[in-house]
Amino acid sequence: MARVRRPGARWWVGAVGLVGLCLATGLQPAFSQQSVSVRATLVKGALPADDPTAAVWATAAVSEFPMSPQVHWPVRITEVTAKSVKVRGLHDGTTVAILVEYSDPSEDPDDAAALEFMVGDTKAHFAHGQPMAQVEGGPVNIWYWKNKDGKGVDMGAKGFGTLKPHAHQDVKAKGVYQGGAWKVVFSRPFHTEHVDEDTQFKPGEFASIAFAIWDGKKTDTGQPKEKGSEKAISSWWYFRADAPPDYSPYMYALLAVALALGFELVLVRRLKKGS
Amino acid sequence: MGGVLVRPIILTVLIYLFLKFIVPTLPHSAPLPSSLIFLYLMLTTAGIVIFATLSGASKDAFFGPIFRFLTGESGGALSSARYLVLALFPLLVGWQTYGSTAFSDAPPAENRTIHPAPPGEYTGLSNPVPKTPDNIMYGKGLYASRCSPCHGNFDGKGFAAPGFTPPPANFKDPTTIAMLQESFLFWRIKKGGVGLPVEGMPWKSAMPRWELELSDEDIWKVIMGEYDGAGQKPRTWDESE
* Complex prediction ipTM: 0.79
Q: Sort out which chain B residues have CB atoms less than 8 A from A243's CB and list them.
A: 103
Residues of chain B with CATH 1.10.760.10: 120-240
Q: Indicate yes or no: CB of A39 within 8 angstroms of CB of B105.
A: yes
Task: Give residue B237's pLDDT.
Answer: 63
Q: Sort out which chain A residues have CB atoms less than 8 A from B1's CB and list them.
A: 5-8
Q: Sort out which chain B residues have CB atoms less than 8 A from A65's CB and list them.
A: 163
What is the distance in angstroms between the Cα of A220 and the nearest Cα belonging to chain B?
A: 24
CATH says A37-241 is which class?
mainly beta
B81 closest CB neighbour out of A12, A32, A206:
A12
Q: Indicate yes or no: CB of A256 within 8 angstroms of CB of B5.
A: no
Task: Give residue B106's pLDDT.
Answer: 81
Q: Sort out which chain B residues have CB atoms less than 8 A from A256's CB and list them.
A: 90, 93-94, 96-97
Q: What's the average pLDDT block by block, 10 residues per block, for chain A (275 residues)?
A: 41 47 43 67 93 96 95 92 96 97 97 97 95 96 97 96 95 97 98 96 95 96 94 95 90 96 92 78
CATH topology of domain B120-240: Cytochrome Bc1 Complex; Chain D, domain 2 (1.10.760)
Task: Give residue B108's pLDDT.
Answer: 83
Q: Which of A48, A50, A116, A61 is nearest to A88 (CA)?
A: A61
Task: Give residue B111's pLDDT.
Answer: 86
Task: Give residue A8's pLDDT.
Answer: 42
Residues 156-215, chain A, touching B (beta carbon < 8 A): 204, 206
Each domain of chain A, given as residue ranges in start order, spans 37-241
Task: Give residue A99's pLDDT.
Answer: 98
Task: Give residue A35's pLDDT.
Answer: 61
Task: Give residue A14's pLDDT.
Answer: 46
Residues of chain B with pLDDT under 50: 1, 239-241
Residues 28-87, chain A, touching B (beta carbon < 8 A): 28-34, 36-37, 39, 65-69, 71-74, 76, 78, 83
Task: Give residue A11's pLDDT.
Answer: 44
Q: Sort out which chain A residues have CB atoms less than 8 A from B160's CB and list them.
A: 68-69, 71, 78
